[in-house]
Amino acid sequence: MTSRILIAGIGNIFLGDDGFGPEVLRHVFGRVNGSEGVRATDYGIGGMHLAYDLLEDWNALVLVDAIPNRGSPGTVHVFEADHGSPDAPAGLDAHGMDPATVFASLRALGGTPPRTIVVGCEVADVGDGMGLSEPVEAAVPEAARAVESAVAMLRAEDGARVGEV
């Protein structure tokens, strides 16, 4: 059985670098969407939509999002989300889009978050306005490659598990 992988771009395109997730999705959409077991969706600010979609049987989620500036705007980070964080909000939030709120809403709906790989980029500016800052725009190709690598890794791990059975 082929694993099912959801690629979710999140962020508000009207808040500068917060639009990083949707921009990366624009770059990877045609290369990954529709390939066996993979669906890529730009969720924008639709946190509840993502939570409802995660109620489906997904083996993994690749979440593409802007992350806080830690001193290096434009730096891409790839890491696995920790779904056991005690700091997550506790219920349904129809307007929240940050990942912790999405996962809390999913749990409130009776779902369980799948394994989640985050491809994030440190922001430079999330003020009102459209368009990414120069360092974040320059990071989009690297992030697109990271998304494709995450999908390949998840598929390889799934193939290895199938071979073990």
Sheet harboring 38-44: ordered strands across?
A: 38-44, 5-10, 60-67, 115-122, 76-80
Domains of the chain: 5-164 (3.40.50.1450)
Verdict on whether the full-model pTM lies above 0.85: yes
Quick: pLDDT tens for 99-130. Answer: 888 888 899 999 999 999 999 999 999 999 99
Give the single-character DSSP code of 60: E
**Nearest of 95, 127, 101, 103 to residue 16 by alpha carbon:** 127
- The pLDDT confidence band at residue 146, using thresholds 50, 70 and 90, is very high
Quick: pLDDT tens for 65-98. Answer: 999 999 999 999 999 988 775 554 545 444 456 7
CA distances for 140 relative to 26, 129, 148, angstroms: 10, 18, 12
Tokens describing residue 47: 């946190």
Angle between helices 20-32 and 134-164 (to 10 degrees): 50
